[in-house]
A and B are shown apart, each in its own frame.
Chain A
């Protein structure tokens, strides 16, 4: 029996900010879930199951969100489950929900991811005082900066590429009312003049710390037929993992990322992603990851990704827009960031992205990664039902 086609009929996000002091975590997730149900014109009773994701437990000190949030998410009397995959969790949570539809386990599933970074300290969560080990010497940016230098060495990319990405994403964020950073006076010069934190990564080339939640309503063909607005259809979705550190690991272009993308393209019958995909929402917490992922995801040959960025191809009005929403560089509630990528891809193919809409976007990729570049999750969504 073939898989049931999966449609996304509702999307909801909070307005992402540095600190949502006015709501509990329950209140925060509720806003996103309610917005997604409203978009789908559904009630809590229409949902068959809830799949939730969040950042690693030490990041915010909530160990069992599925227990704490069952009533806020209308999950009482229904299956509710939680997904863990570090920073990629928002993406893998959506895929677990999608598989419940594709496998005909449920007809309509609410999926949601969140984080309140203001109530915790992710850096602390990443640097527990493990006995006998040397303390981590550099922080999260310091963990990724050497990989950026390796990319620059390998490809000969010029120094200014990272600043171009940050300048683009921050301008895109101005068109997205949900984005956290709205830097109205942003200029390329300001990005380039910002302090070098972990050389070669500048302050303005790093992501903020945000509070936010994102939710989606996934359903089957029958649910899509009842939807008040055009659905997005999942054309392919995949996850891949690899160890954090192993001999032969390629941090610049991890094998798991390549394999994950290849699986999605095979499912969606994408022969040439650069030609067949209209736009990408990818997980770029440090600006240099845009050219790195362009290569890893097959949009450019090895060593050529930075040329797409430099020539303006990834701008909002370019030939392959990347991070139209402003991306992780403008909004980063870590646990939700992957799902925001997936949801923004959905908004594009539904034609509902507002000011940051890419005209005529028909196939858009959502991408997330996490851990030490070891967990990958991606989906490709389209405006046409697969096989139709």
Chain B
């Protein structure tokens, strides 16, 4: 079997988050080198703080400052720091119960090696040099054998509190389109469009997916379709998409290639946009080095009758 295509796929987006009153105070506090927790109905202090009491579900807003020193409650050594992690040398992930808190905060501990880390060890916050109101304002924790540091007595009220953060999310995948689409893509390189026929309903899927979605059976019989086809329906796009280098207006159409059991989507060119119509006969236009047809243009044949394509919209 020929080798199946794969390629990296990176999905990333800078999501914004409105903080609400509690997270706003917590993150603004970090900017000011103040660690704030919140007191629950039963008197415990949660760090990091939450907006709602985990026991009673009541809204909680009683902010309490805790010390920048604390105790490691558990840990794991990170041998190979990855992109975006707090430190770029091996470090320990730690849960730290800060002095004055009843719960532990997850962060990084800078340590020379796993032998230097143990549950129960005393640590303190190492503040980042530049702080903006983010969890990274705590650069990391470091080993500490001094006295318990005292809170500054901060009220939790800030003049210029931050209300929103940006949280970039990123996922790295290895993507494979699978056997059937790999064969389809290889045929496209020779400017041929090859689908697969369902052995049960006999419809030809273009692009093929390796199985018929309605019959639930594998498709293997390859069938070349097109190259010409019929515009079955379309719209005229008048707003420019950010990531596309196409002048508006242009026509985005559903095109049923001759012999295909369903329409694929493409752009229509070589004809004024306001003259495109349902039933127009078109053929692909290729550009050098492109994987897919650049667009489709009229063949000059008479329009197809509605009845011949009405099931292929």
Other-chain residue from A71, A120, A243 in contact with B213 (beta carbon distance below 8 A): A243
Whether the pair B291, A26 counts as a contact (CB closer than 8 A) is no
- Interchain nearest-CB distance for A327 vs B (Å): 22
Within B1-50, the residues touching A (CB, 8 Å) are: 5, 7-11, 13, 15-21, 23, 50
Within A96-121, the residues touching B (CB, 8 Å) are: 116, 118-121
* Inter-chain contacts of A134 with B (CB < 8 A): 266, 291-292
Whether the pair A74, B291 counts as a contact (CB closer than 8 A) is no
Give the size category of A's interface with B.
Answer: 35 or more
Whether the pair B53, A71 counts as a contact (CB closer than 8 A) is yes
CA distance A153 to B303 in the complex (A): 15
- Pick from B17, B185, B291 the residue with the most CB of A within 10 Å: B17
- Interchain nearest-CB distance for B155 vs A (Å): 21
Whether the pair B238, A196 counts as a contact (CB closer than 8 A) is yes
Q: Is B97 an interface residue (CB 8 A)?
A: no
Whether the pair A248, B203 counts as a contact (CB closer than 8 A) is yes
Whether the pair A61, B7 counts as a contact (CB closer than 8 A) is no
Other-chain residue from B9, B53, B241, B265 in contact with A139 (beta carbon distance below 8 A): B241
Whether the pair B278, A153 counts as a contact (CB closer than 8 A) is yes
Other-chain residue from A72, A76, A120, A133 in contact with B13 (beta carbon distance below 8 A): A120
Other-chain residue from B11, B23, B234, B253 in contact with A24 (beta carbon distance below 8 A): B23
| Interface-facing stretch out of B69-77, B87-95, B99-107, B163-171 | B163-171
- Pick from B53, B235, B262, B311 the residue with the most CB of A within 10 Å: B235
Other-chain residue from B10, B57, B212 in contact with A44 (beta carbon distance below 8 A): B57
Other-chain residue from B7, B163, B267 in contact with A131 (beta carbon distance below 8 A): B7
Within A243-301, the residues touching B (CB, 8 Å) are: 243, 245-252
CB nearest to B295 among chain A residues: A137
| Interface-facing stretch out of A80-88, A140-148, A311-319, A358-366 | A140-148
Interface string of B91-129 (1 = CB under 8 A from A): 000000000000000000000000000000000000000
**Majority DSSP secondary structure for residues of A touching B:** loop
CA distance A227 to B198 in the complex (A): 55
* Inter-chain contacts of A249 with B (CB < 8 A): 262
Whether the pair A27, B51 counts as a contact (CB closer than 8 A) is yes
- Pick from A199, A200, A247, A250 the residue with the most CB of B within 10 Å: A247
CB nearest to B21 among chain A residues: A27
CB nearest to B50 among chain A residues: A71
Interface string of B207-249 (1 = CB under 8 A from A): 0000011100000000000000000111111110101101001
Q: Is B156 an interface residue (CB 8 A)?
A: no
Other-chain residue from B21, B244, B262 in contact with A135 (beta carbon distance below 8 A): B244
Q: Is B141 an interface residue (CB 8 A)?
A: no
Whether the pair B13, A131 counts as a contact (CB closer than 8 A) is no
Q: Say whether, besides A138-B252, A198-B235, A245 and B262 are in contact (CB < 8 Å).
A: yes
Within A200-231, the residues touching B (CB, 8 Å) are: 200-201
- Pick from A127, A131, A150 the residue with the most CB of B within 10 Å: A131
Whether the pair A149, B233 counts as a contact (CB closer than 8 A) is yes
Other-chain residue from A70, A129, A149, A252 in contact with B235 (beta carbon distance below 8 A): A149
* Inter-chain contacts of A128 with B (CB < 8 A): 9, 11
Whether the pair B291, A132 counts as a contact (CB closer than 8 A) is yes
CA distance A115 to B25 in the complex (A): 24
Whether the pair A22, B213 counts as a contact (CB closer than 8 A) is no
CA distance A243 to B23 in the complex (A): 41
Whether the pair B205, A247 counts as a contact (CB closer than 8 A) is yes
* Inter-chain contacts of B56 with A (CB < 8 A): 44
Whether the pair A58, B52 counts as a contact (CB closer than 8 A) is no
Other-chain residue from B181, B213, B234 in contact with A132 (beta carbon distance below 8 A): B181
Q: Say whether, besides A21-B18, A119-B16, A198-B237, A246 and B262 are in contact (CB < 8 Å).
A: yes
Q: Is A171 an interface residue (CB 8 A)?
A: no
Q: Is A20 an interface residue (CB 8 A)?
A: yes
* Inter-chain contacts of B11 with A (CB < 8 A): 58, 128-129
Q: Is A1 an interface residue (CB 8 A)?
A: no
Whether the pair B261, A247 counts as a contact (CB closer than 8 A) is yes
Whether the pair B52, A138 counts as a contact (CB closer than 8 A) is no
CB nearest to A148 among chain B residues: B235
* Inter-chain contacts of A142 with B (CB < 8 A): 235, 237, 252
- Interchain nearest-CB distance for A71 vs B (Å): 4
* Inter-chain contacts of A60 with B (CB < 8 A): 15
Q: Is A197 an interface residue (CB 8 A)?
A: yes
Other-chain residue from B18, B204, B214, B267 in contact with A20 (beta carbon distance below 8 A): B18
Q: Say whether, besides A71-B57, A249-B262, A196 and B253 are in contact (CB < 8 Å).
A: no
- Interchain nearest-CB distance for B140 vs A (Å): 25
Q: Say whether, besides A24-B51, A44-B57, A197-B238, A247 and B13 are in contact (CB < 8 Å).
A: no
Q: Is B187 an interface residue (CB 8 A)?
A: no
* Inter-chain contacts of B167 with A (CB < 8 A): 61
Q: Say whether, besides A199-B238, A247-B262, A146 and B8 are in contact (CB < 8 Å).
A: no
CA distance A203 to B148 in the complex (A): 62
- Interchain nearest-CB distance for A189 vs B (Å): 20
* Inter-chain contacts of B244 with A (CB < 8 A): 135, 137
* Inter-chain contacts of A125 with B (CB < 8 A): 13
- Interchain nearest-CB distance for A258 vs B (Å): 16
Other-chain residue from B177, B234, B262 in contact with A146 (beta carbon distance below 8 A): B234
Q: Say whether, besides A61-B167, A247-B262, A195 and B23 are in contact (CB < 8 Å).
A: no
Other-chain residue from B201, B235, B306 in contact with A138 (beta carbon distance below 8 A): B235
Query: Can you give 19 contacting A-B residue pairs, CB < 8 Å?
Result: A21-B18, A71-B57, A119-B16, A129-B10, A131-B175, A132-B5, A135-B244, A137-B237, A138-B235, A138-B237, A145-B235, A153-B233, A198-B235, A198-B238, A200-B235, A246-B213, A247-B201, A249-B262, A251-B313
Query: Top 4 closest A-B pairs, CB basis?
Result: A145-B235, A24-B20, A74-B57, A247-B261
Task: Supply 15 further A-B pairs (C-beta < 8 A) apart from A120-B15, A132-B181, A153-B306.
Answer: A24-B20, A30-B51, A30-B52, A71-B54, A74-B52, A76-B55, A120-B13, A129-B11, A132-B291, A135-B243, A146-B252, A197-B238, A198-B236, A198-B237, A248-B203
Residues of chain A whose beta carbon lies under 8 Å from any beta carbon of chain B: 20-27, 30, 44, 58, 60-61, 70-74, 76, 116, 118-121, 124-125, 127-135, 137-139, 141-142, 145-150, 153-154, 195-201, 243, 245-252
